[in-house]
Amino acid sequence: MFELVFTRRFSMAHRLLAGESERCALPHGHNEYVRVSLRATQPGALDGRTNMVLPFQRAKSVWHQFIDNHVDHALQLAQDDPLLGWFMQHEPQRARRILVTPGDPTTELLACLLMAKLNAFLAADGGVLTCAIIEIDETPTNTIRYSGDPLAMLPQPRPAGQCWWRRADMTITDT
């Protein structure tokens, strides 16, 4: 089976409050790579004419716009992080650049959120492709890889239709 594989780099900052690492409780950043593997939802033989599942440009353009213009240089905070409230009160224009997560914004959670978002984009484009695997290189030596249904792994903090990761738009927050 063919897979279309794309890699994109982005910079981010986050902090983790619920875990055991005091170092991660302070805002800090990473330069990350996200790699996605897309598969046809209805695999078939090449057609003898175009001989592709979907043109690369069509398959990756919305995803790359999302990563480049919304995820890159976004601050990632849990929905109950006090910093999110501070930004909403004191710098609401910047709060839109905060990627809000249900619980600590770990790399594992981010992988599932981004995979769900990509699948929403792909479904809106006709559902020819689906994301089979997502990998995020958090550091040069630490990688998270996920395959499966990301929605089954995500916490359900509110009605599903209200979650930014289920919508085929460029949002990274529901606040």
**Residue that the structure tokens 């979650």 belong to:** 163
pLDDT band per the 50, 70, 90 thresholds, residue 46: confident
Beta strands in 55-140 (DSSP E): 74-78, 98-101, 129-139
* Terminal CA-CA length for the chain: 40
- The pLDDT of residue 158 is above 80: no
> What's the CA gap between 81 and 100, in Å, rounded?
9
Mean per-residue pLDDT of the chain: 93
- The pLDDT of residue 99 is above 90: yes
CA–CA distances in Å: residue 91 to residues 62, 95, 101, 108: 28, 7, 19, 28
> What's the CA gap between 37 and 100, in Å, rounded?
25
Residue 157 has a pLDDT of 62
pLDDT band per the 50, 70, 90 thresholds, residue 161: low
**Residue that the structure tokens 């979907």 belong to:** 54
Q: Rounded mean pLDDT of 107-122?
A: 97
- The pLDDT of residue 65 is above 70: yes
Long-range contacts of 26-29 (CB under 8 A, 24+ apart): 27/75, 27/83
pTM tops 0.85, yes or no = yes
Q: Rounded mean pLDDT of 70-78?
A: 97
pLDDT band per the 50, 70, 90 thresholds, residue 26: very high
Residue 52 has a pLDDT of 84
